[in-house]
Structure 1
Amino acid sequence: MAQELLLFSIIIPTYNRPERLATCLESLVRLEFPHAGFEVIVVDDGSQVSLEPIVARFQQQLNLKLLRQDNSGPAKARNTGAAQAQGKFLAFTDDDCMPASDWLTKLAARFAKEDDSMIGGQTLNALPENLYSTASQVLIDYLYKYYNTGSHPVSFFASNNLALPAHLFQVLGGFDTTFPLAAGEDREFCDRWLHHGYQMIYAPEVHVYHAHKLTLSTFWRQHFNYGRGAFCFHTRRSQRSKGRFKVEPLTFYFNLLTHPLLQKSSQPGIFISVLFVVSQVANVAGFFWERLTQPTQQFN
């Protein structure tokens, strides 16, 4: 009977960030949604420290399960969690995120109208005083504006704030586990979802706060890895559609670099623009690094 009441399974991959995981779980305790209506599945992706003491602190407050796997990346970790999920819908977030108290309530309202769609919410920067974290978030905001609003059909959600029917996740085979990094696997899943004719709905009222503290070096590494993921994504998409290897038009990059100057931000727009240039250099470097280390991959 208890399983029949579960509307949501919240799945959180985690790796070597026990303090961030604790903060994430604290935010889930504060969810306004009836706690009998959701479960939380934490998937430890081979952390070097035990997460049991962290999880044990919340066992009495949440319907909480801890799973473990050898270090294999977040894509496989999410699939591992989904395989054990009992909820009608899967709601994905990350260990460095804090869902708003009405997160599940607003997701439930959306699913009440569109129960066979993927719902993606808005991610907000929880570290506005950090220049690099702010730049990273402004970049995500630009991507969401480009891919999910205006004349473009909704086509991209980051995996830290998306939800979908559990049975359709299994039909598609989950995230592509050949993506070893937290880079590109969410974009590939969204593209595959659309390729199979399913609908995506952007719900900007569904909020998750992202607290990813960055430095210049970690900002560079993040976008270098995004470039690696982008190569893998474009390769998978070209194979799936049997078409040419396609990238975005030049207007996409021009508007990207000028976007920070037109936005209100806690950091100077010119600094954000400079970091956007850095991000694109890192992205291109990662893209071609991945290309050169996979000589068997061919452009169609």
Structure 2
Amino acid sequence: MSAYFFSIVIPTYNRAEYLTRCLTALTQLDYPRDRVEVVVVDDGSAQSMASTIAPFRSTLNLTLLRQTNGGPARARNAGAAQAQGQYLVFTDDDCQPAPDWLQALEAQLQTQPQALVGGHTINALPDNLFSTASQVLIDYLYDYYNTHHQPSFFASNNFAMATEQFRRLGGFDTAFSLAAGEDREFCDRWLQHLLPMAYAPGMQVYHTHHLSLKRFWRQHFNYGRGAYCFHQVKARRQAGQVKVEPLRFYWQLLTYPLPQRPLGQGLALSGLLMLSQIANILGFFWERSQQASLATPQPIEAPPPSGTVG
């Protein structure tokens, strides 16, 4: 018998202010406190997060773990290993779940208890054009992969599954040391085991990811690096080359913001989406060249689109 129904796992690294906002949002959840625990995994921050979480111990069933820096995949696995809940719920330190977050998740699990359930992420910085462009990209990917057919991709800042099933699959692949591609690989492996996925748009978190041009470029460059690793893993698993998206996928991506925004903003967002794909391609081939110096890689024809948040 599990001690809790939900275990919320949050990796964090050198972002005490973000973590404070995240934990504050968790104190405002409209859900019974005795059914939820929160496991924070400090991924080797320069300063311990103990003082950051101390004010929340009276209102949350809170556990703090600390590890040497190894990336969010390893941190999430560490949190999941200590979790006592029947279901694992993953979010990030720069996210603030809506008050009805767990209610929406539980409602979905009542109909599909064995599903990997993904929720909807909302950009909390609408005045930041770079943050908005990154969210538009995720919105497009969710529309493309999840809305019109069986879901196949959820970002790890807002998804959940049965703890037993997560452990049976071996958790996240820790070869993904960046916040890039590990969630896509996990979703793909989940589907490879013929397990269901379900989209719950009412399960919402607000994503506060401050981006500048430099940080936007680096984010999508790293997504390209993660995409190359994902394709390598998938090619080995399927013993062959991986199918890439058709050209219309990219055209639809670039035009996606235009009908939804004023013309000037829509064009600016389309330009940033094009820039994101250039960064993605360069990151993809940079990672391939790095790995080529260590071993002969599997042949891959072209890079995939970026599709992870951090």
Picking from 51, 54, 57, the partner of 2:52 is: 54
1:249 deviates by 1.2
Would the alpha carbon gap of residues 64 and 75 (structure 1) be closer, same or farther in structure 2, given more than 3 Å must change? same
What does residue range 112-151 of structure 1 map to in structure 2 within 5 Å?
112-150=110-148
| Cα contact 1:15–1:45 (8 A) shared by 2 | yes
Letter in 2 for 1:13: P
Q: Secondary structure at the match of 1:176?
A: coil
How many residues were matched structurally? Answer: 297
Q: CA RMSD in A?
A: 1.3
| Cα contact 1:29–1:62 (8 A) shared by 2 | yes
1:264 deviates by 3.5
Letter in 2 for 1:180: S
Q: Secondary structure at the match of 2:230?
A: helix
Letter in 1 for 2:277: Q
Please list every run of at least 4 consecutive aligned residues from structure 1 whose deviation after the TM superposition is greater than 2 angstroms: 264-267
Higher deviation after alignment, 132-141 or 265-274:
265-274
Letter in 1 for 2:249: F
What does residue range 274-285 of structure 1 map to in structure 2 within 5 Å?
274-285=271-282
What does the per-residue CA deviation read over 1:133-182, in whole Å, with 9 as the maximum and x for residues that have no partner?
Answer: 000000100000000011x3210000000000000000000000000000
Counterpart for residue 183 of structure 1 = 180
1:55 deviates by 0.7
Q: Secondary structure at the match of 1:112?
A: helix
Counterpart for residue 26 of structure 1 = 24
For residues 207 and 267 of structure 1, the distance between their equivalents in structure 2, rounded to whole angstroms, comes to 28
Q: TM-score, normalised by structure 2?
A: 0.94
1:267 deviates by 7.7
Instruction: Tell me if 1:218 matches 2:192.
Output: no
1:266 deviates by 11
Q: Secondary structure at the match of 1:7?
A: strand
Counterpart for residue 298 of structure 2 = 298
Q: TM-score, normalised by structure 1?
A: 0.97
Instruction: Tell me if 1:254 matches 2:247.
Output: no
Question: Identity across aligned pairs (percent)?
Answer: 59
1:112 deviates by 1.3
Letter in 1 for 2:196: Q
1:5 deviates by 4.9
What does the per-residue CA deviation read over 1:5-38, in whole Å, with 9 as the maximum and x for residues that have no partner?
Answer: 5110000000000000000000000000101000
What does the per-residue CA deviation read over 1:76-109, in whole Å, with 9 as the maximum and x for residues that have no partner?
Answer: 0000000000000000000000000000111111
Picking from 41, 51, 71, the partner of 2:39 is: 41
- Unpaired runs of 5+ residues, structure 2, are 301-310
Counterpart for residue 76 of structure 1 = 74
1:246 deviates by 2.9
Counterpart for residue 106 of structure 1 = 104
Picking from 222, 228, 233, the partner of 1:231 is: 228
Letter in 2 for 1:292: S
- Unpaired runs of 5+ residues, structure 1, are none
Would the alpha carbon gap of residues 267 and 170 (structure 1) be closer, same or farther in structure 2, given more than 3 Å must change? farther
Q: Secondary structure at the match of 1:227?
A: helix
Counterpart for residue 9 of structure 2 = 11
For residues 3 and 219 of structure 2, the distance between their equivalents in structure 1, rounded to whole angstroms, comes to 39
Q: Secondary structure at the match of 2:23?
A: helix
Picking from 155, 159, 170, the partner of 2:156 is: 159
Q: Secondary structure at the match of 1:39?
A: strand
